[in-house]
Amino acid sequence: MANRSYLYDLLTPDGMQIHSILLLVCGTSLLLAIPFAGRVSQITDSAIGDLHLPSAFFVLYTLFMALVGLNRGTLAAHRRDMAYGKALVVGQVLVAQALVVPFLVFVRAIFPGAAGRIALVASYVTLTTLASGLIGLAIESRALRTGKSSFPLRHLVILAYFVVPVFLGFADHAAARYVSVLSPLSTVLQLLTGLPVAVGVVAFLLPIAIVIPLFASGRRGPQGDGR
């Protein structure tokens, strides 16, 4: 069904299914993160990082957005060609982010002084989700050309991207903080509590450095209708 519309490919039933999982996870974690009524009046601009559950919401939001991107990028590799696959990845990332916006607005309402940091987190997560999607697209496209499964490799790459820098950041050296923000999970937590400008620039540069070359690559993918 190579002639079906971009909108149809963007809003496929399986795509809506994984988006529903994203919403369920974010909604449940946010529900658990709502402070007791007696604490709402005590929340200040600097308090958001001191509350464990809101941090858990942002970690799960970051992680599951990346998994959505990886899943969508993998399936996009089965579509018409690489250019079309990349356009699908961008669209899927924007759809996922748009669906999560109400949760972010709700968090902003609880923590009105943290609006800037929440916006930074949303922008950063959009970049890391796009990077994850393009990684999935690139790995699956290569697997289709070679006839091998991409399942273990694409998940290992994302695991290394998200987890390995966190452990390296525990090392006792001056560059540890810069290393830790190579992980999206660590970066999001630090964005919530305040991050030096130089460290923040490094954090944003990594997903940008992943996205640009993957967008620039132009190898044609296989024909197929995917799912």
Give the tens place of pLDDT for each residue, 123-162: 999 999 999 999 999 999 999 999 888 989 999 999 999 9
Residue 221 within any structural domain of the chain = no
Residue 225 within any structural domain of the chain = no
pTM listed for this prediction: 0.86
Q: What is the mean pLDDT of the chain?
A: 85
Confidence grade of residue 36 (pLDDT, cut at 50, 70, 90): low
- Within 10 angstroms of residue 45's Cβ, the number of other Cβ atoms is 12
Residue 190 within any structural domain of the chain = yes
- CB-based contacts of 176: which residues, under 8 Å, 6+ apart? 168, 169, 170
CA–CA gap between residue 202 and residue 222 (Å, rounded): 36
Of the ranges 31-35, 41-45, 132-136, 203-207, which one carries the lowest mean pLDDT score?
41-45
Which structural domain range is residue 207 located in? 6-216
Q: What average pLDDT score do residues 71-93 get?
A: 92
Q: Collapsing DSSP states into helix, strand and coil, what is residue 224?
A: coil
Number of domains in the chain: 1
* Percent of the chain scoring above 70 in pLDDT: 83
Residue 223 within any structural domain of the chain = no
